[in-house]
Amino acid sequence: MDLPVDEWKSYVLQKWSLLPKSIQVTISTAETLSDIFLHSSSLLQPEDEMFLKRLSRGYLVGKDPNAPLFYREEGNKKFQKKDYMGATVLYSKGVSHSRPNSEDISLCYANRSAALFHLGQYETCLKDIVRAQTHGYPERLQAKLLLRKAECLVTLGRPHEASQTISDLESNFAAKPTLAASQFQVLQRTLCRLKVKVQEKENLTETSPAALTKAFEDVDLREENEQISSTSSSVSLCTDPLKGRYLVATKDILPGELLVKEDAFVSVLNPGEMPPWHRGLESKWDTRATNGDLYCHRCLKHTLAPVPCDGCSYAKYCSQECMQQAWDLYHSIECSLGGLLLTLGVFCHIALRSTLLARFEEAGKVINKLCGEITNRDTCLPESKNLAQILSYDLGGESKNKGKTVETPIPGCDINGKYENNYNAVFSLLPHTGNHSPVHKFLCALSVSALCRQLEAASLQVFTTGLKSSKLKAAAAPVLYPELNIWGVAMLRHMLQLQCNAQAITTIQQTGSEKNLITNSRQVRLATGLFPVVSLLNHSCSPNTSVSFISTIATVRASQQIKKGQEILHCYGPHESRMGVAERRQKLRSQYFFDCNCPPCEREKQRPSQGPGREAFCCHRCRALLQGDDVLSCGSTSCTESVSRDHLVSQLQDLQRQVGMARKLLRNGELERAIQLLLGCRHAAESFLLAEHSVVGEIEDDLAQAYAALGDWEKSAAHLQKSLRVVEVRHGPTSVEMGHELFKLAQIFFNGFAIPEALNTIQQAEKVLLVHYGPWNDEIQELQKMKSCLLDLPPIPVGPNE
């Protein structure tokens, strides 16, 4: 996903292995990125490009004229089964493959409006009705579209507009009677019903639609930092020869305080489970819903009614405005390259988009250094030199401030010492060229070279023409170069930067059946982005911050109290509650090129003989911890039990298969069978797993879900409380994982009408989730609704003997 597809990686690896040793050495020992790029680019042959093109053609990103009918018919099947969400996705796919101003696109929009109506998305339904009419919806079908419009307007409390729509409909039929008598009678009855509704609404005070969940604009920093953009004044930027750049607290910070609110400089939606290359499949059109179907490709907002690019079927947006902004900024170049970009991976796509966005800033001064590297090697500063020197040189070297010469103090800062979310800061992120393997650098360089060749072949004057954005016109004309080699070096730099600096943009998605009263959720990776300010945060396996996202906005909050002078730390993935120390160290060393010395790692290094942790096995006789390597022995001095590790691992795998079967029964609604199987799994787990083992917690959680589906709220709560204890031991009482489990428990108590328990759990869940997400979070909003509902209930009458 991040890197190119396996077929291209294997092809490049083979090409590398066949290169003469002298050429391998030349690329491996190259001192600059420009040397690596130019040497690799010279090795790209026409047959390499042809192979890459064949791979790219496997992705169906163009508009197929036969696809709209297929998706419309598949959507109709879902609609008839009352699967309106599934129908909406399929109609959207039909829209994406349709040409503008065609009957295909108007019919798909109209059908999608019907599905949205049944989903209660009335405002969005109205927009689709307008789109259908704009693209030439057939006159013969206008009646049902206008009726749907009137229904939406009535439901939204806009009776005057609904009345006008009904009048227009009646006038049209009076002038052009096109319906049969039976159809006309149905229409008349529907109109009469709507008129009654309109009259009822007109007698009421018209109210505005209910407000949506607080948008990210409402999440603001209390006082913005003057030194670092998008950052609270509670932090300061420092630099150290060993640690590099980092953030520290300038005062005592309380849990939940917002420290960073930064929009991504660049982001690319992860394609998710893209369909495989179509080799003789029965249908070449994919009917699965992916992130690309449900989220805007520019702002990443969730949308049920995406607006597609006019030129390709892949890019989709939440609105016409987002589509136009994306087109102006980068998609006018990317549109014809969709298959190639999917083949080359997200990192290559981000590298291209970053350089495209650089056109809108005075980035030419930064890129000028790369031009110098290519055209005049003697003026090149080696990459090992302090990057501040390079940036200082590129930005004019020095400035006059009160008669003194001021050098740029920290890489990425401007001449006034301010660090901003811009291309200068992105360019300053280290590519760690010396740490990447020669083969990896060759793969990245050859991929970027192929992309540059494709841009050149398409006669796309990427960086010099076709810029229509008002932002660009208003800015000073950037220094641009027609030679794609210069921008190729920039793209190679970005591609290498991403391994250590890319940020996964995540969202919380609900899982399981829509019929479930208890919400199961999981964190999923939605996109990949570059956040120059967030990239300043160093890693800890036990961080003091929590990072979450609202669309493309990253928010960093203190997850615990941070003392003045203490470093602000973020977890890069390997967390002490999820990985053992050996696994964490290996992950950080291989991806981020450093050995972690955070407090948890130091503690574990000083106690290497510490037991195997919470995922360990226990003795089936006395429940004591089993210890050892290939053969495990009971840790109790009074017990002589021993067992082979392989036997226990096999036992655990069998248990996990049984749990998987129970979950399948749950999904199919076979609740009693699922419960019996899960109770058996629970009994089996007790014989060889510690009480805080993750599988034990998962079994209790699944039992809670099953009993909730049966409406047995008391048993459901009992099992979830056991799961909650496992989560607390593994992740801590104030962890985000604990917050999500408390939210589920609050739902169970609420549905079981256990009022005191529900109110107490709601308070606990709110306290934890507010620290990690702030008040805009969907789960917090739901908790507040539950609390309001319970507090508004009339007191329960007490009998004389009670």
| pLDDT per position as a tens digit, 658-693 | 999 999 999 888 999 999 999 999 999 999 998 889
Sequence-distant (≥ 6) Cβ neighbours of residue 7 within 8 angstroms: 55
Count CB neighbours of 280 within 10 A: 5
pLDDT at 26 over 60: yes
Token pair of 676 as six digits: 């019996």
Query: Is 417 part of any domain?
Result: no
Average the pLDDT over 13-31 and give the result: 94
Sequence-distant (≥ 6) Cβ neighbours of residue 746 within 8 angstroms: 758, 761, 762, 765, 783, 786
d(CA 424, CA 412): 6
- pLDDT confidence of 622, banded at 50, 70, 90? confident
CB 480 within 8 A of CB 508: no
**CA angle, 138 as apex, 136 and 142 as ends, to 5°?**
105
pLDDT at 470 over 90: no
Query: Is 538 part of any domain?
Result: yes
Span of 69-73, 772-776, 795-799 with lowest mean pLDDT: 795-799
Give the β-pairing of 520-530 and 538-539.
Answer: unpaired
Predicted local confidence at residue 799, as pLDDT: 55
Give the β-pairing of 538-539 and 569-570.
Answer: parallel
CB 4 within 8 A of CB 48: no
Give the residues across from 520 on adjacent strands: 511
Specify burial of residue 132 (Cβ count, 10 A radius: 0-12, 13-18, 19+).
buried
d(CA 216, CA 262): 11
pLDDT at 23 over 90: yes
Fill in the DSSP letter of residue 666: H
At 724-739, the pLDDT tens digits run 999 998 888 999 999 9
Give the residues across from 509 on adjacent strands: 522
Average the pLDDT over 56-63 and give the result: 90
d(CA 688, CA 699): 14
d(CA 280, CA 339): 19
pLDDT at 363 over 80: no
- pLDDT confidence of 362, banded at 50, 70, 90? low
Q: What amino acid occupies position 648?
A: L
pLDDT at 328 over 50: yes
Query: Is 599 part of any domain?
Result: yes
Predicted local confidence at residue 216, as pLDDT: 42
For tokens 């169906």, name the residue: 60
167-193: string of b/e by CB count within 10 Å (b at 16+)?
eebeeebeeeeeeeeeeeeebeebbee
Average the pLDDT over 63-84 and give the result: 95
Span of 259-268, 352-361, 406-415, 614-623 with lowest mean pLDDT: 406-415
Q: What is the pTM of this model?
A: 0.84
Distance in angstroms between the alpha carbons of the first and the last residue of the chain: 64
Specify burial of residue 560 (Cβ count, 10 A radius: 0-12, 13-18, 19+).
middle
Q: To the nearest 10°, the Cα dihedral for 10, 15, 17, 22? A: -150
Question: Smallest Cα–Cα separation from 16: which of 343, 443, 444?
Answer: 443
Average pLDDT, the chain: 82
- The distance from CA 559 to its chain's CA centroid, rounded to whole angstroms, is 21
User: What is the DSSP annotation of 336-352?
Assistant: GGHHHHHHH-HHHHHHH
Sequence-distant (≥ 6) Cβ neighbours of residue 244 within 8 angstroms: 430, 538
3-class SS string, 403-420: CEEECCCCCCECCCCCEC
pLDDT at 513 over 70: no
Average the pLDDT over 516-530 and give the result: 82
- pLDDT confidence of 189, banded at 50, 70, 90? low
Query: Is 751 part of any domain?
Result: no
Which residues form the domain of 548?
235-265+504-510+517-606
Number of residues in the chain: 802
- pLDDT confidence of 390, banded at 50, 70, 90? very low
pLDDT at 568 over 60: yes
**CA angle, 368 as apex, 362 and 374 as ends, to 5°?**
155
Give the β-pairing of 266-269 and 520-530.
Answer: antiparallel
Say how many domains are in the chain.
Answer: 1
At 641-654, the pLDDT tens digits run 888 989 999 999 99
Share above pLDDT 90 across residues of the chain, in percent, rounded to a whole number: 54
- Cα atoms in the Cβ-side hemisphere of radius 13 Å centred on 246: 17
pLDDT at 457 over 70: yes
CA distances from 394 to 33, 37, 64, 219, 415 (A): 17, 21, 47, 36, 11
Average the pLDDT over 235-263 and give the result: 92
d(CA 452, CA 41): 9
Query: Is 545 part of any domain?
Result: yes
CB 285 within 8 A of CB 71: yes
Span of 11-20, 161-170, 626-635 with lowest mean pLDDT: 161-170
CA distances from 158 to 124, 163, 193, 204, 205 (A): 15, 9, 16, 11, 10
Predicted local confidence at residue 493, as pLDDT: 94
Query: Is 521 part of any domain?
Result: yes
Query: Is 260 part of any domain?
Result: yes
CB 214 within 8 A of CB 246: no
Q: To the nearest 10°, the Cα dihedral for 30, 32, 38, 39? A: 0
Predicted local confidence at residue 174, as pLDDT: 62
Query: Domain holding 552: CATH number?
Result: 2.170.270.10
- pLDDT confidence of 260, banded at 50, 70, 90? very high
At 103-120, the pLDDT tens digits run 999 999 999 999 999 999
pLDDT at 420 over 50: yes
pLDDT at 93 over 50: yes
At 291-321, the pLDDT tens digits run 899 999 999 999 999 999 999 999 999 999 9
Query: Is 706 part of any domain?
Result: no
Predicted local confidence at residue 231, as pLDDT: 94
At 571-600, the pLDDT tens digits run 998 888 878 788 888 898 999 998 888 888
